[in-house]
């Protein structure tokens, strides 16, 4: 119930399929990051595992590969989803980068430093969310190709393997830090979200939030302009 006694209205921001896809992505990337960076640990950290180290190393490799395959399959499914399902097409159409995003970015920066009075009027996805989403399109092919090369090491030139390792590690570091700084920091700690923005669990977003953060989307969905 809202403050004025009316039922609070919600919009669906993530469909069930999208939520499950997000969950799988979250788990697989989480496992990949943890088991991957276990290879980059300092020697004293690694050696502190003692006699359990061998077992840990074995499962590290297995889990990394399982999570990697999961990520590949998920990516393929997602391509199917955005091309051949109605919800998916809606998702990708809202996600596609437009000229407005560059303008929004610029205006948002101006707003941050006080040179503009209002935030830009965002649609369903802000430029930040679009960049996060499309960085997966950039990063996943790199880690997948280099990862498969490292997995089938025996058939590649060592020079290409060294390149693959450099890309795999570099891209993984970039992705992990980007997720940490832009995604996790936002959903956990952005004022208004703390302790956690639960949209990824129930898929809902409140009318108030939509009006406030995604006014263009609100207009599109309801046909009403929300200026207040």
Partner 1 sequence: MKIPISLILMVLIFTPGPLLSADKENCLMCHKYSGMGRYETVLSGKGRKRIFYINKDLFKETVHGELRCKDCHSDVTKIPHDRVRKVDCAKDCHIQDPSSGKEFSHRRIAELLKKSVHGVEGTNNPRYRKDLPTCTYCHNNPLNTVSDSKDHLYFLNICMQCHEKEEWARRFLKHQFYRMGKRRSSKEIVALCSSCHENKRMMDRHKLDVVIGFRDTYHGKAIAYGNEKVANCLSCHAPRSLGFTPHSIVSKRDLRSPVNPANRLKTCKNRGCHPGATREFALGRKKIHPSGVEGLIKLASYRPPGGTENPSKGSDPPLPEALSEEVFHEKVVYWINTGYKIAIALIVGGMLMHQTLDFVATIRERRREEEEDG
Cβ at position 83, least distance to partner 1 in Å: 29
Record the tokens describing residue 45, joined without a space: 């950290």
Does 144 help bind partner 1 (rule: CB under 8 A)? Answer: no
Q: Who contacts 110 (Cβ-Cβ below 8 Å, separation ≥6)?
A: 116
Record the tokens describing residue 62, joined without a space: 């297995």
Cβ at position 111, least distance to partner 1 in Å: 6
Distance between CA atoms of residues 30 and 63, nearest Å: 11
Does 159 help bind partner 1 (rule: CB under 8 A)? Answer: yes
Distance between CA atoms of residues 44 and 194, nearest Å: 36
Candidate segments 5-13, 25-33, 43-51, 80-88, binder of partner 1 by CB under 8 A: 43-51
Binding residue (CB under 8 A) for partner 1 from 78, 171, 205, 218: 171
Does 115 help bind partner 1 (rule: CB under 8 A)? Answer: no
Binding residue (CB under 8 A) for partner 1 from 58, 106, 134, 138: 58
Binding residue (CB under 8 A) for partner 1 from 1, 99, 113, 115: 113
Does 191 help bind partner 1 (rule: CB under 8 A)? Answer: yes
Does 43 help bind partner 1 (rule: CB under 8 A)? Answer: yes
Q: Which H or E run contains 11?
A: strand 10-12
Q: Residue 206, SS3?
A: strand
201-210 per-residue burial string, b: 16 or more CB within 10 A, e: under 16? eebebebebb
DSSP string, 57-124: HHHHHHHHHHHHHHHHHHHHHHHHHHHHSHHHHHHHHHHS--HHHHHHHHHHHHHHTTSSSS-----S
Does 8 help bind partner 1 (rule: CB under 8 A)? Answer: no
Binding residue (CB under 8 A) for partner 1 from 10, 11, 111, 200: 111
Cβ at position 35, least distance to partner 1 in Å: 12
Cβ at position 56, least distance to partner 1 in Å: 6
Q: Contact positions toward partner 1, by CB under 8 A? A: 39, 43, 46-47, 49-51, 53-54, 56-58, 60, 108-109, 111-113, 119, 128, 153-163, 166-167, 169-171, 173-174, 177-178, 181-182, 185-186, 189-192
């Amino acid at each position: 119930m809202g403050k004025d006694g009316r039922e609070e209205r919600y919009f669906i921001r993530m469909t069930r399929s999208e939520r499950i896809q997000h969950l799988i992505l979250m788990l697989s990337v989480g496992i990949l990051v943890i088991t991957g960076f276990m290879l980059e640990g300092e020697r004293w950290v690694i050696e502190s595992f003692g006699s359990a180290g061998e077992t840990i190393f074995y499962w590290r490799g297995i889990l990394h590969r399982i999570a990697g395959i999961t990520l590949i399959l998920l990516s393929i499914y997602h391509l199917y989803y955005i091309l051949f399902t109605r919800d998916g097409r809606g998702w990708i159409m809202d996600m596609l980068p437009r000229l407005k995003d560059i303008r929004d970015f610029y205006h948002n920066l101006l707003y941050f430093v006080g040179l503009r009075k209002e935030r830009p009027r965002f649609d369903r996805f802000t430029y930040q969310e679009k960049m996060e989403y499309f960085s997966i399109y950039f990063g996943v092919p790199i880690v997948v190709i280099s990862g498969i090369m490292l997995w089938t090491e025996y058939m590649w030139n060592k020079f290409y393997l060294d390149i693959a390792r450099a890309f795999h590690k570099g891209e993984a570091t970039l992705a992990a830090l980007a997720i940490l700084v832009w995604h996790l920091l936002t959903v956990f700690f952005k004022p208004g979200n703390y302790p956690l923005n639960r949209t990824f669990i129930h898929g809902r977003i409140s009318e108030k939030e939509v009006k406030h953060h995604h006014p263009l989307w609100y207009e599109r969905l309801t046909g009403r302009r929300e200026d207040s």
